[in-house]
Structure 1
Amino acid sequence: MTEQTQLDLAETAAPDGGGAGASKAMAFSFGEAESVLDRRELSQYFEIWHNGRWFEPPLPMDKLCQAFNMAPHHSSAIWLKVNLLVGAHVPTAKLSSDDFERWALDFLQMGNGYLEDIPNRGGGTARLDHASARHMRAPKDPNEGYFFIGSGVAQEHQFAPGRIFHLQQPDVAQEIYGLPAWLAALQSGLLNENATLFRRRYYLNGAHMGFILYVSEAFSDQETADQIEKAIKAGKGAGNFKNMFLNIPSGKKDSVQLLPVGELAAKDEFSGIKNISRDDMLAAHRVPPILLGIVPQNAAGFGKPSEALDTFYLVEVVPIIRRLLRVNDWAGSEVLQFANYDASDGSQITPTGKRIAAASED
């Protein structure tokens, strides 16, 4: 949760009177901003522990789900890879296009992808269904089946042993669960989100950082000051910047001064933060900026999109395809198939990364 800062109300008797009805100096503040995601839970690694039946993931799966939409360049990069995979995927009788897409999305975002083997009457594989990575848990005993853990109390289901295929992006610290390859850019993605939220709150707050409402004249009674305080609190917008009402009876013009360090204007470096965090996410995903619709800032541009796509497919998508094809070894049959990719020069790239030269026109 976001840490809240409190300012104690200061009440002192007016210098020209100490009666019960005399006005008192008062100050209060409000409008503390809150973040959408708890960054501390996402940035800390925890030891892999178990409850006697299954292991808990090293990072909260619910938080990784929320992080999918933390920044447009993150979700767009994930979807670009998924779209290229879906475009090359050849549906089979045992693995539908819908189940494959969900499985691929889980693998790229969560670092783990699960498929459930649905048996036929003869004990073979009838089809493979997607199992959500958010709810799957690895058993403590490797001879037992995986668990599906629901969000409610006592909502759990244990699969039969050998019915779940678990594909993971390897982690250097443990081998029970995978971790997504983009995890190094998590803080950059959250910074990008926070910069956008800051700008939105700044805009909704009337393009200012908050204000001090200073009244130097004494009110006729304390009830009037309380009513003004109540009106200002009730009129503030949700999530706006902190404002302050300050009443000092018989105060001088310079009784309260704001001494800023640097400029008083809001210097949040919005564009710089957005650009730097964007570059971090693109580096983590290894996606050429031209494939995400980013406008070049120089006259030279990013080159031809077709050439960038060919290189990206060969060095990034093909290795993902080869990892996904491991399900065929587990299933004992070719349940997953991919078509060749047509490159811009007329050649083709096979799912294993081999180039087939374009046919001669002679």
Structure 2
Amino acid sequence: MTDKPRHRLPATIDGSYSVESTQSLPAETSKVKAKAFSFGDPEPVLSGGITDYLGIFADSNALYYIPPVSLSGLSKLLSANGTHASALGFKCNQLLANWKENPMISRKEIRAAFQDYLVFENGYLLAIRNGLGGVNRYVRLPAINMRVGTDNNYWLLNNDGSMQEFAARDIIHLQGNDVRQSIYGVPDYFAGVQSILLGEAATLFRRRYYQNGAHAGYIFVTFDLDDNMAEDIEKSITNTKGPGNYRSLYLNMSSTVGGKTGITKDRVQLIPVGDYGNNDEYDKIKEVTQQDILNLHRVPAALASIMPMNVAGHGDLKNIREVYYDSEILPMQAIWEELNDVLPQRGRIEFKEPRWLIDSKKAV
């Protein structure tokens, strides 16, 4: 086996911005001194190595092969993006809905195995044998902690740092395909990790925007009001502001500068500040990343509880469900039925026809 070269995405962001401003005032006043600043030192696009493809290498003790992608990173993606987690949960439910009860694999064990395969594209079942060496049942082993051994065996990495070895004859390993190696499966959605992380980053940015208090609501400006009236307005604005609301600013200014009347458009002005929506296009980012994620998982928006973006809606849900069943659910079931080549006859994996399909046949 040849080692795969390490690939790292070298993309960087290098931005700079400068501002120069002058303010024209009457002749008696001097120009405001011009100021300039810049920001945006080069930064890596990714803060972690979740999208690095490492290739296949043995660990330092040469006991097992290290997965080509971070399994811990893949698991964390479930908490990073709601659409991603929901799509995987939806696909798991579709498999469970048609699962035919099995005397050797309980529904609880197969549900966990389904989730493992959808997240990591690897699933592991351990044979529990009786005193005569026969198999009584199968239990799921967590894919995030399983490693393929270098000596035709398997290892379970425990949370306390210990390891447990299993013989190859006791482990059923269902793995997806990866054209770069044949030891572990790599999920199809790995190609869209950037979209998943972008959706998370946009949400976190907006949350921080509201939490850090930097978003002023408005600047309320009046001109030439006497002190008593200005104080009354200030108290009114202060009393109407509750905790956690936008931070606003009230200014009472003189329209006379240097003994001359300055130019004011209105005696009362309300100036909005921090128009967030126009600056970072949050809604557009969320819409695009959401669509990217649904495309990655090949889940129709109508079945993913996504509100339609047009008046016509998603179309006929029955037709969408039928197409999805034929194009996605049946192939997913066929992958698990591959295990029947090694499972005993009474433990064969089978799926029922969905209720709506049975009803349609009866109607005919």
TM-score, with structure 2 as normaliser = 0.68
Match of 2:165 in 1: 158
324, 349, 352: which is aligned to 2:336?
Answer: 324
Structure 2 Cα separation of the partners of residues 311 and 151 of structure 1: 42
Cα deviation digits, residues 15-67 of structure 1 (max 9, x gap):
xxxxxxxxxxxxxxxxxxxxxx9653111111211031100000111111111
Match of 2:57 in 1: 49
Match of 2:70 in 1: 60
The alignment-based identity, stated in percent, is: 33
Q: Does 1:273 align with 2:285?
A: yes
SS of the equivalent of 1:203 reads helix
Match of 1:173 in 2: 180
Cα-Cα RMSD: 2.4
Structure 1 Cα separation of the partners of residues 176 and 362 of structure 2: 37
Match of 1:75 in 2: 85
Structure 1 Cα separation of the partners of residues 316 and 274 of structure 2: 45
Match of 2:267 in 1: none
Q: Does 1:342 align with 2:350?
A: no
Structure 1 Cα separation of the partners of residues 363 and 206 of structure 2: 56
Alignment CA distance shift 1:305-1:360 (3 Å): closer
> Which of the pair has the greater relative contact order for Cα pairs under 8 Å at 6+ separation?
1
Match of 1:306 in 2: 318
Q: Is the contact between residue 55 and residue 181 of structure 2 (CA under 8 Å) also seen in structure 1? A: no
Give 1 or 2 for the bigger CA radius of gyration: 2
Of stretches 187-196 and 297-306 in structure 1, the one that deviates more from structure 2 is 297-306
- Please report how far the alpha carbon of residue 172 of structure 1 lies from its aligned counterpart in structure 2 after TM superposition: 1.1
Structure 1 Cα separation of the partners of residues 346 and 47 of structure 2: 42
Unaligned runs of at least 5 residues, structure 2: 1-11, 13-44, 217-243, 245-272
Unaligned runs of at least 5 residues, structure 1: 4-36, 210-236, 238-262, 348-357
Q: Could you list the runs of 4 or more consecutive aligned residues of structure 1 that deviate by over 6 angstroms after TM superposition?
A: none
How does 1:145-224 map onto structure 2 within 5 Å? 145-153=153-161, 155-206=162-213, 208=215
Q: Is the contact between residue 328 and residue 334 of structure 1 (CA under 8 Å) also seen in structure 2? A: no
SS of the equivalent of 2:172 reads strand
Letter matched to residue 192 of structure 1: G
Structure 2 Cα separation of the partners of residues 38 and 128 of structure 1: 40
Structure 2 Cα separation of the partners of residues 78 and 339 of structure 1: 21
Of stretches 335-344 and 61-70 in structure 1, the one that deviates more from structure 2 is 335-344
Letter matched to residue 198 of structure 2: L
356, 359, 362: which is aligned to 1:359?
Answer: 362
Structure 2 Cα separation of the partners of residues 170 and 273 of structure 1: 31
